Structure 1
Amino acid sequence: MRRSGVADLKLHGGKAPSWLVKRMKPMAKAICGFIVEEHGPLELLERLADPVYFQALSNVLGYDWDSSGSTTVTCGVLRSVLSIEEHGVAAAGGKGKTSMKTPDHLRALEDYGLDGAGLGEISRAVAKVDNAAVQDGYALYQHVFFVDVEENWTIVQQGMDGDSGDARRYHWTSQTTDQFIEEPHTGMISGAVKTAALDMTAKESEECRDISVDISQEEPIKIKRLFEDIKPYGESTLIPWLDDYSPRRELQSYKVFPKRMNWNAVREAYERQPSDYSELLFINGIGPATIRGLSLISEMIYGESPSWADPVRMTFAFGGKDGVPFPVKRKEYDEAIKFLETVLQEAKMGRRDKVVCLKRLKRFAPPIPRDSDNIASPEQCAS
C-alpha cells in the first residue's frame, strides 16, 4: 500500500453551490462510466490515485486548481455517483465526522463479498501514517476510500494547516507495494514545501525507527526518565548522566519536544514488545506526540536522527506559484490531460456539457509551460 502523491491547496471555507454539485454529478458519472467500460474498474482507481489526473478531473468538473474544495467536493461527488452494481467501484468515508464512518461504510460492502473489516484496518493504517508518522503540520479532516470488487483500492485524504491557510492532499494506492512504512511515495504534487517536518517514513529515518522500537521495549519508567531529562529546544541539551567528554547536542527550534506522551500506550507497547516499526505505530494510543517523543529520544540520547525534511521536497507544483522550487513533471501532466481529453470526447454526456468540460481542461493550470499544446479545441471535439 503506497502513498501515490501529495498536493498542496489553499484552504477555502463554505460549501459548494448546489447548482455546481448538481452539474458535477452527471459529468462525473459519465466520465467514470466510460473509464470503467473501456478500461475496467482498476484503471479508474489508478487514475484517482494520480494527483495530476485527480486535479485535472476536479477542474473539468468545475473547481479551481488551488482550492481545497477540489478534494472534498470532488470526492463527495464521486462517492454519490459510484456504485458496485454499475461501476464495480464504491466509495466510503468523507469529510469531517463522515470520515469517522469509513469503517461502517466498508462493512456495509460485505454484502458484495468484500472483507469490510480488513479494508477498515487498511483505512486506519493509512490515516495513522499521514497523521503520526509524517508530521508536516496538516491535520487530517477528510478521508475517502475507493475500492473495487477485487479489493483493489485508492485512498484520498486531506489535512489542513490552520496557520498557513493551506490544505494538503494525500493519495494512496494498493497497486505499488505491500508495506506502509518506508518511502511510501510514488509521485507527489505540491504547491509549498515546509522548512522542516518530521518524516519517520523516510529512508533516512530507518535507524531512528529501529531505535524507537528498541526504546519502546524498555520499561516505561526508564522511557519517562529519558523523556523528562531532555531539556526543551534552545537550551543546553547535555544529558545529566553523560560524562564530561560526551558531545553536546542541541535541538534546532523546529524540533519541538512534545509536552507529554501517552504513557498508557507506552505501557501497551512494552507489554506487546513490537518487533518492527509498523507494529509500534499501529498500537492504539501511539499518536503524533509519542512518535515524536521517541524519535527525539533516539536523536538526543542515541544519536540516530530522523528525517526532518518535508516529504514533499521532491514534489511538483500546479500553476507555477512564486517561490516553488520545482516544476511540474510535464510528461505526466500532458499524459493525464490527454487521457482525460479522450475520455471526454467519448463519454456519454450532452454536447453542451462536453464543450464546457473541454474548455475547462484547456484552462487547467495555464501558467505551466509545456513541451507542446496539442489538445484539440472544444469546437473540434464537439463537431
Structure 2
Amino acid sequence: MPLHGGRVPAWLGQRMTRLGAVIAQAIVLEYGRDELLRRLAHPFWFQSFGAVMGMDWHSSGITTSVLGALKRGLTPLSGELGIHVCGGRGKHSRRTPDELAAVGDRVGVDGAALGHASRLVAKVDSAAVQDSFDLYLHGFIVTDDGRWVVVQQGMNGDRRQARRYHWLSEGLNSFLDAPHAAIEGHAQGMIVNLTDARAKASRLGQLDLLATLGPDGITRELSRIETGPPGAEAAPSQAMLPHLVMPDHHDVRPENIVTRRLHGNLAAAADRAPQDFAELLMVPGVGARTVRALALVAEIVHGAPCRFTDPARFSLAHGGKDRHPYPVPLKVYGHTITVMKNAIVRARLGHTEELAAIRRLDEQARKLERDATGPSVDALIAQERVASHAFGGRSVFGFEPPPARSAFREALS
C-alpha cells in the first residue's frame, strides 16, 4: 500500500468509531466473536472494511484508522462483547503487553502469555522476516477466552510503501513455521523469511552453528561464503497465492472494481428497499441512497471471503476523506449508523427483523449480480459528486459547494 501522511479528521474519526463498532457487533451477533477475528485476519476484508468507513480505499492509513476506530468503539463494549483491542501505532504498540496484562487481570486469562505472544509476533515480523519494511504499528485484539488476532504494519520509507502482516491464533501451531494468516505486499527482491516451511533446516542449522562455533566463528565462516555449494539444487518456487496489492493512484478507476458485483449491490438495494425498508424510506432525508450504502455494509457483515478482492467497490458506500471517489456523504453515513445501531438494539431484545433485512440485502446481491446491469463506475461517481452537496458531502478540503447547473444536467444525462 502507498504511504499516506496526515491525520484522520475528527468528524470522520468519530463516525468511523461508531460505524466500526456497530458492524463488529452485527458480526458477533450473527456469527460469533471468532468469526470477527477471522475477518480481521483476512487482508482483503480488512481493506474493504476500512473503505466502507470512508477512509482512503488504497492507502496504508486504513490500518491505523481501522484499529484506532475499533479500539475507541469496542473498548466501552468490552465487558458486553468480550473483545479487547490493544496496541496501536508507535509508543502505543510498546504498551501492548501491559494492556494485555490488564485484560488478563480483568477477565481471568493468562495476560503474561498473551504479552509473550505479542512480543514474539513482533519479533518474528521484524527479525525472522526481513523484507526492508520496519514495523511501526502493532494491533492485538483478544477475546475473553484468550483467542486473538494481530495486525501489524511495516514501512519502507525509501519506497513510500507499507506492508501488513496478519496473524490468527486459531490453528496456530508454531510462531516460526508458516504462522501468518497473511502477509500482503509487492514482491520486491530477495528477502529473508525464516518462517517459511522450507526454512526449517536453516533455522535448525543456525542454532547448531551458534552452539558449535559461537558468534566469532559464525562471522569467520560467513566471510568465506560467496556462493552456494557447487551442484546445489535451487529451492522450489513458492506457489502463487491470492494477493492484494493497492495501486499508487488515488482515484477510483473502473478497473479497481468488479462491476458485476457493484451492479448486484445496486440491484439488491432497488429490489429490497420497498419490501424490507419501507418504513425507513418514509423517514425524511432517508431514501434509496441510504439503502445502497447499506447493501455494501451488508456485504461487509455477511459476504464470503472471495468477494473482497476489489476493496475500491466499498468506497462507493460512503466515499473517501480525500474526495476519492467522492466526498463523504455525512447525511447518508449518519443514516447508515442509525439503521445498523437500531437493528442491533432490537436484535438484543429478540426482534431480529432489521438484521434479517440487512442479511437479505447481501443474499439478493449475490443472486442478482449475474444478470444485473447499471451505470458505469465513472457515471456513478459523477452522479454522486453532483449530488454531494445535497448529501452533506465533506472531505479534508471542506464541505462541498452546490453544483453548477451545467454539471447537474450533465450528470443526469
Letter in 1 for 2:193: D
- Answering whether residue 123 of structure 2 is matched by residue 128 of structure 1, we say yes
Q: Is the 8 A contact 2:165 2:182 kept in 1?
A: no
Q: 1:65 offset after TM fit, Å?
A: 2.6
Letter in 1 for 2:25: G
Q: Is the 8 A contact 2:85 2:140 kept in 1?
A: yes
Give the equivalent residue in structure 1 for 2:10.
Answer: 18
Q: 1:185 offset after TM fit, Å?
A: 3.8
Q: Measured at CA, do residues 316 and 70 of structure 1 come closer, stay the same or move farther in structure 2, by a change above 3 Å?
A: same
Percent identical: 34
1:102-161 deviation line (CA, Å, top 9, x unaligned)? 011111112111211110011111111111001011111000111111111100110101
Equivalents in 1 of 2:34, 2:153: separation in Å? 22
Q: 1:157 aligns with which of 147, 152, 174?
A: 152
Give the equivalent residue in structure 2 for 1:230.
Answer: 222
SS in 1 for 2:312: coil
Give the equivalent residue in structure 1 for 2:200.
Answer: 206
Equivalents in 2 of 1:202, 1:41: separation in Å? 29
Matches of residues 33-52 of structure 1 in structure 2 within 5 Å? 33-52=25-44
Q: 1:203 offset after TM fit, Å?
A: 2.2
Q: 2:138 aligns with which of 137, 143, 153?
A: 143
Q: Is the 8 A contact 1:198 1:308 kept in 2?
A: no
SS in 2 for 1:71: helix
Q: Is the 8 A contact 1:196 1:308 kept in 2?
A: no
Give the equivalent residue in structure 2 for 1:278.
Answer: none
SS in 1 for 2:241: coil
**Which one has the bigger helix percentage?**
2
Q: 1:178 offset after TM fit, Å?
A: 1.7
Q: Measured at CA, do residues 373 and 204 of structure 1 come closer, stay the same or move farther in structure 2, by a change above 3 Å?
A: farther
Q: 1:29 aligns with which of 21, 24, 27?
A: 21
Equivalents in 1 of 2:231, 2:124: separation in Å? 24
Give the equivalent residue in structure 2 for 1:92.
Answer: 86
SS in 1 for 2:140: strand
Q: Measured at CA, do residues 56 and 206 of structure 1 come closer, stay the same or move farther in structure 2, by a change above 3 Å?
A: same
SS in 2 for 1:126: helix
Q: 1:79 aligns with which of 63, 71, 85?
A: 71
Q: 1:218 offset after TM fit, Å?
A: 2.3
Equivalents in 1 of 2:81, 2:294: separation in Å? 22
User: 5+ unaligned residues in a row in structure 2: which ranges?
Assistant: 250-254, 300-307, 315-365, 375-379, 381-413
Q: 1:307 offset after TM fit, Å?
A: 7.3
Equivalents in 2 of 1:107, 1:52: separation in Å? 31
Equivalents in 1 of 2:135, 2:231: separation in Å? 31
- Answering whether residue 220 of structure 2 is matched by residue 250 of structure 1, we say no
Equivalents in 1 of 2:50, 2:109: separation in Å? 28
RMSD of aligned residue pairs (Cα, Å): 4.0
Give the equivalent residue in structure 1 for 2:338.
Answer: none
Letter in 2 for 1:168: R
Q: 1:228 offset after TM fit, Å?
A: 3.9
- Answering whether residue 311 of structure 2 is matched by residue 364 of structure 1, we say yes
Give the equivalent residue in structure 2 for 1:107.
Answer: 101
Equivalents in 1 of 2:202, 2:33: separation in Å? 39
User: 5+ unaligned residues in a row in structure 1: which ranges?
Assistant: 1-8, 232-238, 240-248, 252-298, 379-383
Equivalents in 2 of 1:84, 1:312: separation in Å? 40
Q: Measured at CA, do residues 114 and 219 of structure 1 come closer, stay the same or move farther in structure 2, by a change above 3 Å?
A: same
Q: Normalization by structure 2: what TM-score?
A: 0.59
Give the equivalent residue in structure 1 for 2:357.
Answer: none
Q: Is the 8 A contact 2:12 2:54 kept in 1?
A: yes
SS in 2 for 1:177: coil
Q: Measured at CA, do residues 224 and 50 of structure 1 come closer, stay the same or move farther in structure 2, by a change above 3 Å?
A: same
Q: Is the 8 A contact 1:131 1:139 kept in 2?
A: yes
Q: 1:319 offset after TM fit, Å?
A: 5.6
Give the equivalent residue in structure 2 for 1:69.
Answer: 61
Q: Measured at CA, do residues 353 and 317 of structure 1 come closer, stay the same or move farther in structure 2, by a change above 3 Å?
A: same
Give the equivalent residue in structure 1 for 2:114.
Answer: 119
- Answering whether residue 290 of structure 2 is matched by residue 314 of structure 1, we say no
Q: 1:188 offset after TM fit, Å?
A: 5.0
Q: Measured at CA, do residues 188 and 102 of structure 1 come closer, stay the same or move farther in structure 2, by a change above 3 Å?
A: closer
1:8-53 deviation line (CA, Å, top 9, x unaligned)? x111112111111011111111111111112211111111111111
Equivalents in 2 of 1:198, 1:141: separation in Å? 19
Give the equivalent residue in structure 2 for 1:245.
Answer: none
- Answering whether residue 5 of structure 2 is matched by residue 58 of structure 1, we say no
Equivalents in 2 of 1:48, 1:106: separation in Å? 18
Q: 1:72 offset after TM fit, Å?
A: 0.5
Q: Normalization by structure 1: what TM-score?
A: 0.63
